């Protein structure tokens, strides 16, 4: 099985919208991790954006874009699975 570092399970498909949303958060975080591989620095920066209104909104903005792709991939979870 291929090791992935950017998309868990190497798939955009999820069983539910909730899981799609979780995937969007993970995908957004993994880009940050790839760009800044040092865990300690990421931890410090996390403390910064979790306490800054503009940065929190920026997190939400990127997750919204990632989610729009995942939702389209899953045909918006319209059909029963």
Residues near a copy of itself (CB under 8 A): 2, 4-7, 10-13, 16-18, 21-22, 25, 27-28, 31-32, 34-36, 41, 45-46, 48-69, 71-73, 76-78
**CB of 39 or CB of 46, closer to a copy of itself:** 46
**CB of 35 or CB of 39, closer to a copy of itself:** 35
Least distance to a copy of itself from the beta carbon of 39, Å? 13
- Compute the distance between CA of residue 3 and CA of residue 40 in angstroms, rounded to an integer: 24
Least distance to a copy of itself from the beta carbon of 37, Å? 9
Phi, psi torsion values for 13, nearest 5 degrees: -80, 135
* Torsion angle defined by CA atoms of residues 10, 11, 17 and 22, in that order, rounded to the nearest 10 degrees: 10
Least distance to a copy of itself from the beta carbon of 78, Å? 7
Give ∠ CA 22-26-29 in degrees, rounded to 5: 140
* Cβ proximity of 72 and 12 under 8 Å: no
């Amino acid at each position: 099985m291929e090791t992935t570092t950017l998309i868990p399970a190497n798939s955009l498909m999820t069983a539910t919208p909730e899981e799609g949303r979780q995937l969007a958060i993970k995908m957004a975080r993994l880009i940050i991790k790839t760009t800044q591989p040092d865990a300690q620095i990421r931890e410090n920066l996390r403390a910064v954006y979790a306490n800054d209104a503009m940065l929190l909104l920026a997190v939400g903005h990127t997750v919204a874009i990632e989610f729009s792709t995942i939702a389209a991939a899953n045909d918006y979870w319209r059909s029963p699975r």
